[in-house]
Amino acid sequence: MSSYASRAGSLARMSDDAAPPGGRGRRPARTSGDDRELAILATAERLLEERPLGAISVDDLARGAGISRPTFYFYFPSKDAVLLTLLDRVVAEADAAMDAVFDGSVVEPRQGWQRALAAYHDTFRTHRALTVAWAEARAGSAEVRRLWAEVVERWVQRCTAVIEAERDRGAAPGGPAARDLAIALTSMNERVIYGSLSGDGPAVAADDVVPVLLRIWLSAVYGDEPG
Amino acid sequence: MSSYASRAGSLARMSDDAAPPGGRGRRPARTSGDDRELAILATAERLLEERPLGAISVDDLARGAGISRPTFYFYFPSKDAVLLTLLDRVVAEADAAMDAVFDGSVVEPRQGWQRALAAYHDTFRTHRALTVAWAEARAGSAEVRRLWAEVVERWVQRCTAVIEAERDRGAAPGGPAARDLAIALTSMNERVIYGSLSGDGPAVAADDVVPVLLRIWLSAVYGDEPG
DNA sequence: CGAACGAGTCAACAGGGTGTCGAGTTACGC
DNA sequence: GCGTAACTCGACACCCTGTTGACTCGTTCG
């Protein structure tokens, strides 16, 4: 747990930010109980490595953090809220990675897309357990669905803008609405990466994920309608 | 419920087929209780139209079918088993639709793929509630995951074979392993269609689903690696 | 006919999970 | 040294799942 606490410096202090109306965490601000909150998050991350979300109870999280179940509810309103907090961190990481790619120097397009896909893939691959758990939580929690929808919406808007820019400068031919293309391709990324991490059903091997996705993105964006 | 019973003629009689080892249904064969089994299935389908799977309890299904909860367990071992039975039907429908497409006369490739995508899309669109519920159940039930994995595997194998055939006859250029391409594109279909049916997150409008997917499939399979 | 049997039925139970309430117990500012 | 707010948890109220054992039938067959 202390290993988590040290890494956790970068954990967004969301619950402390200005106005937390119906926010995830509970307590208004600083006190010694921060340790407990961190311990809960660390326990969640640890337990998710060994078993699926559905097999982890609030009691497991509480005991793992050295507190009783009612006390858990002092820190988080539900099990999902813990996951949401953990997820925010990964999403922030993914966004940062994307920023690094889409920013500044636009090298050749192929390389740009390749880096973006790799950044996306790497971020989620290094948080395999969390990524798989999120997919499970999404099925049952409207809150999780909402957060994910927001995240995807940002990516889609970004891709849409890039595709339109490429079309404007004549590098990419016309075709379906750029946004629809972006949605479909982003959806593909999500499902393919999840499949390769979760291991159920037919999956692309980890090393082949980016090459295959890249090929499909490039031909979809830059390829002419084939006869 | 009688409206279901009439449509249910096509419901695969899986539980009666030759050897049902660890099968879904329970009773060995025919008796008056068939009505009850059908009533449970009908109730499930009806309730899924109005609320998500997680908000439907075994008790709801039992009462909806006019029986007590313990009696429900006489017919199905769990709530998931009901969904699995319902799902088998839809999958059989989708497979039949695919058979109709991939069979016999291979017209021009574009039209072939277009029909296949449309068949896939139509099948799931006409069972919207069930499709969305399946996605929810998949998160929690290994059994549901297994069934879906099998279904997808069949589609992937089919697509892989077609892509390889197109490459062999010189109609499609080389590229990533045909199977990887098939997995990625099939995954895209799954996620895009689900997204357009479930309504959370950015989605492609129902009428645009097939055109967009088709464009991506065609450029991925037939397009040369763009510069 | 009537005993035996198997299908079908359910009240009651055992067990596990969630979320809440209210009565404690610190710890720290004043 | 005392109030107040952070913090803690035993006990409770619920809801859900899955099982057990006894009960009611209709059928079958000696």
* Mean pLDDT along residues A26-43: 75
Are B82 and B41 in contact by the 8 Å Cβ rule? The answer is yes
* Mean pLDDT along residues B189-197: 98
Between chains, do A225 and B215 touch, taking CB under 8 Å as contact?
Answer: yes
Nearest CB among A145, A208, A220 relative to B216 is that of A220
* Mean pLDDT along residues B28-47: 81
Q: How far apart are CA B193 and CA B205, in angstroms?
A: 10
- The pLDDT of residue B22 is 39
B73 Cβ nearer than 7 Å to chain D strand: yes
* Mean pLDDT along residues A61-71: 96
Sign of CA dihedral B45, B51, B53, B58: negative
* Mean pLDDT along residues A2-12: 33
Q: Smallest CA–CA separation between B167 and chain A, in Å?
A: 14
Are A52 and A133 in contact by the 8 Å Cβ rule? The answer is yes
The angle, 0 to 180 degrees and rounded to 10, between the axes of the packed helices B178-198 and A178-198 is: 110
The full 3-state SS of chain B, as one line of letters, equals CHHHHHHHHHCCCCCCCCCCCCCCCCCCCCCCCHHHHHHHHHHHHHHHHHCCHHHCCHHHHHHHCCCCHHHHHHHCCCHHHHHHHHHHHHHHHHHHHHHHHHCCCCCCHHHHHHHHHHHHHHHHHCCHHHHHHHHHHHHHCHHHHHHHHHHHHHHHHHHHHHHHHHHHCCCCCCCCCHHHHHHHHHHHHHHHHHHHHHCCCCCCCHHHHHHHHHHHHHHHHHCCCCC
As ranges, strand D nucleotides with an atom below 7 A of a protein CB are 6-11, 15-21
- The pLDDT of residue A227 is 59
Give the predicted TM-score (pTM) of the model.
0.88
Q: How many CB pairs under 8 A join A and B?
A: 150
Using an 8 Å CB-CB cutoff, list chain A residues near B154: none
| A74-CA/C21-C1' distance, Å | 13
Q: Could you read off the pLDDT of A45-63 as tens digits, one per residue?
A: 999 999 999 999 999 999 9
Residue B2 has pLDDT above 90, yes or no: no
Chain B residue with the nearest C-alpha to that of A53: B140
| B4-CA/D26-C1' distance, Å | 28
| A29-CA/C30-C1' distance, Å | 21
Taking residue A184's Cβ as centre, other Cβ atoms within 10 Å add up to: 26
Pair of tokens at residue B188: 């895209």
Pair of tokens at residue A18: 């200005």
3-state class of A139 per DSSP? helix
Nearest CB among A146, A148, A188 relative to B184 is that of A188
Buried-state track A135-149, b at ≥16 Cβ within 10 A, e below 16: bbbbbbbebbbebbb
- The size of chain B, in residues, is 227
Pick the residue of A111, A215, A217, A222 with the most B CBs within 10 A to test the interface with B by mutation.
A215
Between chains, do B200 and A145 touch, taking CB under 8 Å as contact?
Answer: yes
Q: Smallest CA–CA separation between A209 and chain B, in Å?
A: 8
Higher pLDDT, A27 or A101: A101
Q: How far apart are CA A120 and CA A98, in angstroms?
A: 7
- The pLDDT of residue B11 is 37
Q: Which of residues 142-171 of A touch B (CB under 8 A)?
A: 145-146, 148-149, 152-153, 156
- The pLDDT of residue B101 is 77
* Mean pLDDT along residues B196-225: 95
Between chains, do A184 and B188 touch, taking CB under 8 Å as contact?
Answer: yes
Residue B6 has pLDDT above 60, yes or no: no
* Mean pLDDT along residues B94-120: 85
Mean pLDDT (chain A) is 86
Residue B12 has pLDDT above 80, yes or no: no
Residue A226 has pLDDT above 80, yes or no: no
| A108-CA/C30-C1' distance, Å | 66
Interface check A211 vs B, CB under 8 A: yes
Residue A22 has pLDDT above 70, yes or no: no
Taking residue B57's Cβ as centre, other Cβ atoms within 10 Å add up to: 12
Buried-state track A68-82, b at ≥16 Cβ within 10 A, e below 16: eeeebeebbbebbbb
Contacts of B70 (CB under 8 A, 6+ apart): none
Q: Smallest CA–CA separation between B204 and chain A, in Å?
A: 6
- The pLDDT of residue A35 is 87
* Mean pLDDT along residues B101-123: 86
Residue A223 has pLDDT above 70, yes or no: yes
Residue A105 has pLDDT above 80, yes or no: no
Q: What are phi and psi of A29, to 5 degrees?
A: -155, -145
Using an 8 Å CB-CB cutoff, list chain B residues near A149: 200-202
Q: Could you read off the pLDDT of A188-201 as tens digits, one per residue?
A: 999 999 999 999 89
Pick the residue of A191, A197, A208 with the most B CBs within 10 A to test the interface with B by mutation.
A191
Interface check B139 vs A, CB under 8 A: yes
* Gyration radius from chain A CA atoms: 20
Mean pLDDT (chain B) is 86
Q: Could you read off the pLDDT of B38-77 as tens digits, one per residue?
A: 999 999 999 999 999 999 999 999 999 999 999 999 999 9
Q: Assign residue A66 a region: left if phi > 0, alpha if psi is -120 to 50, beta otherwise?
A: left
- The pLDDT of residue B33 is 61
Interface check B176 vs A, CB under 8 A: yes
Q: Could you read off the pLDDT of A135-173 as tens digits, one per residue?
A: 999 999 999 999 999 999 999 999 999 999 999 999 999
Residue B29 has pLDDT above 50, yes or no: no
Provide the percentage of residues in chain B whose pLDDT is more than 90: 75
Residue B5 C-alpha from the chain's centroid: 21
Between chains, do B219 and A215 touch, taking CB under 8 Å as contact?
Answer: no
Pair of tokens at residue B192: 């895009």
